Structure 1
Amino acid sequence: MPAPLSPLHTDLRIGEELRDALAGLLDGLSPRQAAGAVERLIAGYRGSVPTDAPVLRDRADVVAYAAYRMPATFEAVSAALGALAERAPDLDPADHLDVGGGTGAAVWAAAATWGDGGEHTRATTVLDWAEPALALGRELAGASGSAAVRAAEWRRERIAPGGTLPAADLVTVSYVLNELTEDARRSLVDAAAAAGRAVVVVEPGTPDGYLRVREARERLTAAGLRVLAPCPHGGTCPIAPGSDWCHFAARVSRSSLHRQVKGGSLAYEDEKFSYVAAVRPEVGGTAAGARIVRRPRIRKGQVLLDLCAGPDAERGGMRSETVTKRHGPAYRAARDAAWGDEWGGERDDEGSAPSR
């Protein structure tokens, strides 16, 4: 299991607000109804969904699925946006376009990452073609303490191949590509690349989800965007398709509905996700250093790290590194490192690795 990412830039109050708003949604549904709706919808999302049939059909569907899935989506998107904010510290989006945003988890995640947008409230637009999802998103947003969340515009619009999107500083496409045909996926990513100064794509952390993110990454870089996270480079992904997949995890507090549907007793679970964050050159920012892509293996007196190290000929691609006690602070840092962490660069004695 990957260790959960803890985004540095997340305002925890936003997540608490969202959980509170979601807590009251199930009052009109029996636990059995809610669990049944969630199970059916999960099966629909895992299958092949035609683009002429929205998965979320009515309020009961949306309420059940939002209560079950929205916290996980919020945490995954928050982790991806937090990584972007860390790599591009000068980015403070004045406007945000959330494509296929449904009930708006990415809207809340952007507010948790950047606040309300500085001097002027961030102009936020959610596009989706499921009106019940938009209606519930609007309802939830109305209870938020964030001005940017409350002021979001919820617009019913079909995601069609060949279409264009309005320009925005930030474009998010989260948990959407699986619902689209191959042509529609490519068209949407191309439209996002043309519209956004920064584009973040998030998909489930499955082999198929990773492949969709990988394809999106290739199309974003072909359109002239620079990858800032999670990759340490913008070259070809060194993972051989079919051999493995790149994914991370975000810690999610489990509701009673989570525990009922999954039959679990733990108060939390880890949402696995794959993502890419890319920006136009004028945004600036720097890509991450080497990235830990497996759970560190701790042995007596040493830690074994599997790294994605970038395209450099000498150290490029995937590589392994053994950190031993003789490395001093680097060894202590390696013992504390988690799957998904950046690794490398000059650190002080309180930090970690020496420069590589």
Structure 2
Amino acid sequence: MNAPVSPAETLRSALATLLDGLPPKRAAQAVERLIAHYRGATPTDAPILRDRADVAAYAAYRMPATFEAVRAALGAFADAVPGWVPKSHVDVGGGTGAATWAVSATWSGGRSVTVLDWAEPALALGREIAAANPALQRAGWRRARIGKDLGLDDTDLVTVSYVLNELTEADRAALVDAAASAARAVVIVEAGTPGGYARIIEARDRLIAAGFHIAAPCPHSAACPIVPGEDWCHFSARVSRSSLHRRVKSGSLAYEDEKFSYVAATRLPVAPAASRVVRRPQIRKGQVLMELCEPDERLSRTTVTKRHGDLYKAARDADWGDAWPPHAQEP
């Protein structure tokens, strides 16, 4: 019997098919323009993706990385709220729908799905790509301005990925408030930069003020212990590249690391991580050095050595962003 194809593999295949009909030179030009935009700091409420070529280039350039970042955030959220499965999902500013693919990879089963975006070409292409994913074939794709006039129906889960950077401060606040009013759970992902982290903290504060509990990445719902301007909280997701993906991105490696910041919050009871690994563990001879965010609102450094037995083995396998210590073990 053939093993089932994962959503990640299905998405890569769909994107490869999508790029087959797009001249590489045109795709590269569109990617360069999009990179220039996303590196800028000027918010806009105008559609960035102008036509199918733009959207196809964007999908090849961003969808695999967005999918992996959102899937990592959702995985941490699911660990903190075990047994809960969303029955409805609204992806705000979802474009071609990478977050909807990540949700289907995190929780099996059917659910109602709605993608909201202001770029009609992105919605059209997202609908086309989603035909390859059985969990998304009945999804709704709706044009909407993302900002202060956004209205959201009640839903279990709202995702907002790589959207806040495109909004004014007032529209960011309105979007987070609308999500908090409509959803039982909200997951927001931004670029893993100081600016992306600042936007995540801003959203985190608003969600807590609205009565939400932080499920991940923080082990608490109190103030972040990071001093603004001195550091920022971010994580990394490994992204596999197809040959077509490498060509469009002018890359030679078979993978890339997507840096992202996120917050996952809910009105449900949560069991957050005892602590969170906030930097890549350093493996030395006979010891592992780990930097942790602790439940008592502080950052700490700990060293796990061979004398810790099974915990040392777990530390050698621990990755950046993981909960610590592993379930059912104590340091």
Please classify the TM superposition score into its range, dividing by the shorter chain length: over 0.9
Q: Which amino acid in structure 1 is aligned with residue 314 of structure 2? A: A
Match of 2:283 in 1: 298
Q: Give the match's secondary structure for 1:24.
A: helix
Cα deviation, residue 262, structure 1:
4.5
- Give the whole-Å Cα distance in 1 for the aligned partners of 2:137 and 2:127: 8
Q: How does 1:40-189 map to 2 (within 5 A)?
A: 40-117=33-110, 122-144=111-133, 146=134, 148-189=135-176
Root-mean-square deviation (Å): 1.7
Q: Give the match's secondary structure for 1:48.
A: coil
CA contact (8 A) 1:172 1:200 kept: yes
Match of 1:259 among 220, 242, 246: 246
- Give the whole-Å Cα distance in 2 for the aligned partners of 1:143 and 1:23: 12
Q: Over residues 258-286 of structure 1, what are the superposed CA-to-partner deviations in whole Å (9 max), with x where a residue is unaligned?
A: 42354432111111111111000xx2231
CA contact (8 A) 1:127 1:156 kept: yes
Cα deviation, residue 184, structure 1:
0.5
Distance 1:327 1:32, change over 3 A: same
List 4+ stretches of structure 1 deviating above 4 A: none
Q: Which amino acid in structure 1 is aligned with residue 173 of structure 2? A: R
Q: Which amino acid in structure 2 is aligned with residue 305 of structure 1? A: M
Cα deviation, residue 27, structure 1:
2.5
Match of 2:12 in 1: 19
Match of 1:3 in 2: none
Q: Which amino acid in structure 2 is aligned with residue 51 of structure 1? A: T
- Give the whole-Å Cα distance in 2 for the aligned partners of 1:212 and 1:50: 13
- Give the whole-Å Cα distance in 2 for the aligned partners of 1:346 and 1:271: 26
Consecutive unaligned residues in structure 2, runs of 5 or more:
none
- Give the whole-Å Cα distance in 1 for the aligned partners of 2:227 and 2:248: 35
1:336 paired with 2:313, answer no
- Give the whole-Å Cα distance in 1 for the aligned partners of 2:96 and 2:280: 33
Cα deviation, residue 49, structure 1:
4.3
Overall identity of the aligned pairs, in %: 66
Q: Report which stretch shifted further, 209-218 or 257-266.
A: 257-266
CA contact (8 A) 2:28 2:249 kept: no
Q: How does 1:237-256 map to 2 (within 5 A)?
A: 237-256=224-243
Consecutive unaligned residues in structure 1, runs of 5 or more:
1-10, 348-352
The count of residues paired between Structure 1 and Structure 2 equals 328
- Give the whole-Å Cα distance in 1 for the aligned partners of 2:83 and 2:259: 28
Query: TM-score, normalised on structure 1?
Result: 0.88
Q: How does 1:288-327 map to 2 (within 5 A)?
A: 288-311=273-296, 316-327=297-308
CA contact (8 A) 1:12 1:112 kept: no
Match of 1:5 in 2: none
CA contact (8 A) 2:314 2:326 kept: no
Q: How does 1:189-268 map to 2 (within 5 A)?
A: 189-268=176-255
Q: Over residues 274-326 of structure 1, what are the superposed CA-to-partner deviations in whole Å (9 max), with x where a residue is unaligned?
A: 1111000xx22311111111121223332221110022xxxx41011122222
- Give the whole-Å Cα distance in 2 for the aligned partners of 1:152 and 1:346: 36
Cα deviation, residue 241, structure 1:
1.0
Distance 1:104 1:160, change over 3 A: same
CA contact (8 A) 2:215 2:266 kept: yes
